[in-house]
Chains A and B, each alone.
Chain A
Amino acid sequence: MIIGTIVDGLVIDHIPAGRGMELYHYLRLDRLQCEVAIIKNATSQKLGRKDIIKIGEVIELDQDILGFISPKITVSVIRNGEKVGKMHPELPEKISDVIRCKNPRCITSIEQELRQVFKLTDRETATYRCIYCDTKAPKQKF
């Protein structure tokens, strides 16, 4: 498969296979007017399979969301066809309004206007818990 090279834009690489569309929605890339390509199940030496997103414009990306999906993700910045930078998002301390608490006893289950916030409680195991009820977030597959 051939995807055109980017002149100015971003390449989000090493996305866990199958999670490219999820990341596309979390980052709200549907709002962009520029070209966006999602490559699923690309061959990867490190991961076996991976997803890649190419964006035809240099935009601000939410590093917390990227780090939450996987700290193995990299973001390359392309200008005039040359790679001019590479970012390595880290596991964020907090993640807001990305995932929802599934505990039916949580206050967020009845007060819809509350922000859905999860905090990192164990960096080693990448465990996140709801700040209201301490319910563990579903485990992210890196």
Chain B
Amino acid sequence: MTKDLIDILQISREEIDELIAKAGDIIEQPDVYAHKCDGKKLATLFYEASTRTRLSFESAMIELGGSVIGFSSATDSSVSKGESVADTARTVECFADIIAMRHPKEGAPYVAANNVDIPVINAGDGGHNHPTQTLTDLLTISREKGRLDNLVVGCCGDLKFGRTVHSLIAAMSRYENVKFVLISPEELKIPEHVRTEILEKGHIDYEETDSLENAMPNLDVLYMTRVQRERFFNEADYLRLKDTYILTPDKLTYAKYDLSILHPLPRVNEISVEIDKDPRACYFKQVRYGKYIRMALMLKLLGVD
């Protein structure tokens, strides 16, 4: 495995399967892992706000016996004085054993990784990559469905700016007989590079539709996404598109009894709160799985068995 995790495509299917197996072992016997990272320090360098991802990384390291340093917004760090990403990373390397970085600009964690010897994990760089979310999604699907192959996966909502969808498609395209149903309004369709370079080049079965109701009966997994205000330059476009798809109990009447509903969270209103009680809703379990897969990943990158 590479020193860092910047893009999910850096790691092979076998390495992903290994991480999923390790996370499963951590879930089964957490006590065995409680002191694996005693004395290790994780630096969480978060240049933009995040609740789930930062707390997930931090609790993952704490549950491995390690400790955490870092900052949770750019204003709390030397970046407000004009320090470059490379210099911040070099400084933090003197204090920490591993870095998790979130940054609004695409490629910032790659710059950090190229300037330090310790592992760097991309915890989200703008609308670009968020590999630990993808690992979380894969672990969730694997645990809930018992497999990552032979599935019909529906991706619904903002497929244009939704980086988690792009990475999920890229990762799941490596498994046999996975079909994608891409549900979005015209303006938020999957980008051309995902369609041509992943789906068409890999001869992956997919269809595009704007109807969630029509797609629903065939889905094994429904991956809902939020229309993200922060990805729009134009507020009017955001307001026009934000309520396009809202998952309600009515729409679920067409779904399979064993459908798994995922969402990278936070949600705004795209999944009705009434769905939360439905056994098919997996999105809060998904958050918990996120901690376990990050534990597995940090163990791997730190070379701890």
Contact = CB atoms under 8 A, between A and B. Distances in A.
B199 to A, nearest CB: 15
Contact of A107 (B111, B193, B197): B111
Contact of B126 (A105, A108, A121, A130): A105
Given A105-B106, A106-B106, A107-B105, A133 B111 contact: no
Contacts of A107: 85, 103, 105-108, 110-111, 125
Q: How many B residues touch the partner, as a band?
A: 10 to 19
B75 interface: no
B116 to A, nearest CB: 15
A106 B197 contact: no
B232 to A, nearest CB: 12
A134 interface: yes
A70 B145 CA distance: 50
A131 interface: yes
A122 B103 CA distance: 28
Contacts of B128: 105, 133-134
Contacts of A114: 111
Interface in A73-113: 103, 105-111, 113
B24 interface: no
A110 B105 contact: yes
Nearest to B7: A134
B84 A113 contact: yes
A132 interface: yes
Interface centre among B85, B106, B108, by most chain A C-beta atoms within 10 angstroms, is B106
Q: Is chain B's interface secondary structure helix, strand, loop, or mixed overall? A: mixed
B84 A111 contact: yes
A108 B111 CA distance: 10
Given A107-B85, A111-B84, A132 B107 contact: yes
B66 interface: no
B107 A131 contact: yes
B109 to A, nearest CB: 9
Given A105-B127, A107-B111, A122-B197, A133 B106 contact: yes
Interface of A: 103, 105-111, 113-114, 121-122, 130-134, 136
8 contacts: A105-B128, A106-B107, A107-B85, A107-B105, A108-B107, A111-B86, A122-B197, A133-B107
Interface of B: 84-86, 103-108, 110-111, 125-128, 193, 197
Given A132-B106, A134-B193, 17 more contacts: A105-B106, A105-B128, A106-B106, A107-B103, A107-B106, A107-B107, A107-B108, A107-B111, A111-B84, A114-B111, A121-B197, A122-B197, A130-B107, A131-B107, A131-B110, A132-B111, A133-B126
